[in-house]
């Protein structure tokens, strides 16, 4: 279906009218919709799997591990906690509000939400966010990526069969359709994608002062630091797995590595072996290895490999017809070279050597750049690692591990600065799609004239003394 400005306006208007009926305010009603979404994912997992294979070349295991399974886990976490999260909070009003003694904080939905999802995890980053929106009591207009067309068709079918259009709908189309959506007045916008497009989203949202959540990859990419005391084989094994996952097209993936020069050669040998063990000698011919989303991304990989050809120590080649490009390690790279100053979002992996004694200087350089979405350190020095991870600015990360921080229940997934704003997953997603509304319950008796005029003379002095007492 070709969407027009008038058609999108009609959808938003119908959703707003439905929201104002108050039906979504009932938590039990939301729970039923979450269960319906969960069952729809289970019933249609073969369709979703096939779509992921068509768009990104994901094998059935990777499709379930990274896209389909996590949606079910996310919904289960919400179902487990939503009644508790949505319960109004009771607060003592305080002496300053006497004779009122009780104030209630209601967790209110924003209303009509716009979810703009990306191509790299088109199922998880659409339905996972939708689950958060539902948990908060909102309706949802979902604009999926035009790059992952098969997944968009599958999502349209899944959502279309599960929910009426006045509650949740998937809209397809290119940037022009996205702009038509952004021109509408939404109550909440949740965008996942690049910092460049996020600026455009924020500008559009500012027209209506719409609350926005942004989940971005980070302007200058995510760093992985490997100290000389790290378990090199373990680090290499985990990094290779992560870089192979979705062919590096992951917002929290390792963009570049900084490795202590004392162990650089040994680490690189382990990394080569880890890649070979996991994906074979010719990754681009392995059907389990995901493919790049477009020819343009393939061209970027080819261009960077050619530009750094004399420093490519692994990979540097691919198969254009299948859009598979081998994991490509470039070494050595200077910390100020252009390739480590922006997000790559592909299987290219630059490696920067540094003297281990200058690890803190490397962290200072990273801190001076835009905040990454993720950070990873491999070391046996837990005191140093914990100091670094508790003082740097980034979204989330791991010590001696990669990526699985985002799988921990009860903790937020988020970025900061150029890697985003807002947070979600579980209760954090519920919070992101609700706003707290404080309501004080007043009384009609025992109301003292403390706040009323006069404020001068003897009466004013008495009131001042009482105010200072009540403020304690």
Residue 93: the pLDDT is 92
In a shared domain, residues 267 and 382: yes
Q: Is 251 a catalytic residue?
A: yes
**Structure confidence by residue, pLDDT tens digits, 304-357:** 999 999 999 999 999 999 999 999 999 999 999 999 999 999 999 999 999 999
Residue 186: the pLDDT is 98
Q: Is the pLDDT of residue 452 over 80?
A: yes
User: Which is catalytic among the residues 74, 215, 270, 370?
Assistant: 215
Q: Whose CA is closest to 218, among 254, 246, 243?
A: 254
Q: Is the pLDDT of residue 472 over 80?
A: no
Residue 121: the pLDDT is 98
In a shared domain, residues 146 and 283: no
Q: Is the dihedral of CA 339, 344, 347, 353 positive or negative?
A: positive
**Structure confidence by residue, pLDDT tens digits, 354-382:** 999 999 999 999 999 999 999 999 999 99
Residue written as token pair 């009466």: 459
**Structure confidence by residue, pLDDT tens digits, 110-163:** 999 999 999 999 999 999 999 999 999 999 999 999 999 999 999 999 999 999
In a shared domain, residues 228 and 279: yes
In a shared domain, residues 362 and 271: yes
Q: What is the mean pLDDT of residues 25-42?
A: 98
In a shared domain, residues 87 and 139: yes
Q: Is the pLDDT of residue 2 over 90?
A: no
Q: What is the mean pLDDT of residues 456-461?
A: 94
Q: Is the pLDDT of residue 53 over 80?
A: yes
pTM of the model: 0.96
405 neighbors 397 (Cβ within 8 angstroms): yes
In a shared domain, residues 99 and 155: yes
Residue 145 token pair: 């990526």
Radius of gyration of the chain from its Cα atoms, rounded to whole angstroms = 26
DSSP designation for 66: I
In a shared domain, residues 234 and 158: no
In a shared domain, residues 30 and 167: yes
Q: What is the mean pLDDT of residues 420-448?
A: 96
In a shared domain, residues 239 and 323: yes
**Structure confidence by residue, pLDDT tens digits, 224-282:** 999 999 999 999 999 999 999 999 999 999 999 999 999 999 999 999 999 999 999 99
Domain of 25, in residue numbers: 5-218+421-435
| pLDDT band with cut points at 50, 70 and 90 for residue 451 | confident
Residue 98: the pLDDT is 87
CATH number at residue 84: 3.40.605.10
In a shared domain, residues 112 and 158: yes
**Structure confidence by residue, pLDDT tens digits, 271-301:** 999 999 999 999 999 999 999 999 999 999 9
The number of domains in the chain is: 3
Q: Is 215 a catalytic residue?
A: yes
Neighbours of 370 (CB within 10 A): 19
CATH number at residue 329: 3.40.309.10
Supply angle C-alpha 280, 284, 287, rounded to 5. 80
**Structure confidence by residue, pLDDT tens digits, 164-180:** 999 999 999 999 999 99
In a shared domain, residues 102 and 130: yes
Q: Is the pLDDT of residue 47 over 90?
A: yes
Q: Is the pLDDT of residue 416 over 80?
A: yes
Cα 362 from Cα 189, distance rounded (Å):
36
Q: How many CA atoms lie within 13 A of 126 on its CB side?
A: 31
Q: Is the pLDDT of residue 1 over 90?
A: no
| pLDDT band with cut points at 50, 70 and 90 for residue 471 | confident
Residue 130 token pair: 């939708």
DSSP designation for 97: G
Cα 128 from Cα 425, distance rounded (Å):
8
Cα 376 from Cα 403, distance rounded (Å):
9
Q: Whose CA is closest to 391, among 363, 412, 433?
A: 363
Residue written as token pair 């191509």: 119
User: Which is catalytic among the residues 251, 346, 398, 403?
Assistant: 251
Burial code of 78-106, b = ≥16 C-beta within 10 A, e = fewer?
bbebbeebbeeeeeeeeeebeebeebeee
In a shared domain, residues 38 and 152: yes
Q: What is the mean pLDDT of residues 401-420?
A: 96
Q: How far apart are the first and last CA of the chain?
A: 63
**Structure confidence by residue, pLDDT tens digits, 188-214:** 999 999 999 999 999 999 999 999 999
Cα distances (angstroms) measured from residue 156 to each of 31, 67, 339: 21, 16, 38
Q: Is the pLDDT of residue 96 over 90?
A: no
């Amino acid at each position: 279906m070709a969407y027009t400005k008038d058609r999108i306006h009609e959808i938003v208007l119908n959703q707003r009218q439905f929201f104002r009926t108050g039906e979504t305010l009932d938590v039990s009603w939301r729970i039923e919709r979450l269960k319906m979404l969960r069952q729809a994912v289970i019933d249609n997992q073969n369709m979703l799997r096939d779509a992921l294979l068509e768009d990104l070349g994901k094998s059935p295991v990777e499709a379930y591990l990274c896209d389909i399974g996590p949606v079910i886990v996310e919904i289960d976490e919400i179902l487990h906690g939503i009644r508790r999260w949505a319960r109004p909070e009771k607060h003592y009003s305080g002496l300053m509000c006497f004779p009122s003694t009780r104030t209630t904080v209601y967790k209110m939905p924003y209303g009509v939400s716009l979810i703009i999802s990306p191509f790299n995890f088109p199922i998880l980053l659409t339905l996972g966010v939708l689950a958060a929106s539902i948990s908060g009591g909102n309706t949802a207009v979902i604009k999926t990526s035009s790059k992952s067309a098969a997944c968009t068709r599958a999502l349209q079918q899944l959502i279309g069969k599960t929910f009426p259009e006045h509650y949740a709908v998937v809209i397809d189309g290119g940037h022009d359709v996205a702009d038509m959506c952004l021109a509408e007045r939404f109550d909440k916008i949740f965008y996942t994608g690049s910092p460049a497009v996020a600026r455009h989203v924020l500008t559009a949202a500012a027209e209506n002062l719409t609350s926005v959540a942004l989940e971005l990859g980070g302007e200058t990419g995510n760093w992985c630091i490997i100290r000389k005391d790290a378990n090199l084989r373990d680090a290499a094994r985990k990094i290779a797995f992560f870089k192979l996952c979705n062919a590096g097209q992951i917002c929290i993936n390792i963009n570049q590595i900084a490795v202590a020069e004392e162990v650089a050669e040994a680490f690189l040998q382990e990394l080569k072996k880890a890649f070979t063990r996991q994906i074979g000698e010719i990754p681009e011919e392995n059907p389990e290895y995901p493919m790049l989303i477009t020819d343009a991304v393939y061209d970027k990989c080819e261009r960077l490999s050619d530009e750094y050809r004399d420093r490519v120590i692994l990979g540097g080649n691919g198969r254009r017809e299948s859009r598979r490009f081998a994991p490509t390690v470039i070494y050595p790279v200077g910390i100020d070279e252009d390739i480590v100053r922006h997000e790559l979002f592909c299987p290219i992996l630059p490696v920067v050597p540094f003297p281990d004694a200058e690890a803190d200087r490397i962290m200072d350089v990273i801190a001076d750049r835009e905040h990454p979405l993720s950070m990873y350190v491999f070391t046996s020095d837990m005191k140093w690692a914990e100091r670094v991870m508790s003082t740097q600015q980034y979204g989330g990360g791991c010590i001696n591990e990669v990526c699985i921080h985002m799988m921990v229940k009860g903790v937020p997934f988020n970025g900061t600065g150029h890697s985003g704003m807002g947070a979600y997953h579980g209760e954090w997603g519920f919070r992101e799609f609700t706003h707290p509304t404080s309501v004080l319950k007043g009384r009609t008796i025992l109301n003292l004239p403390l706040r009323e005029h006069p404020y001068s003379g003897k009466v004013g002095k008495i009131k001042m003394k009482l105010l200072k007492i009540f403020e304690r």
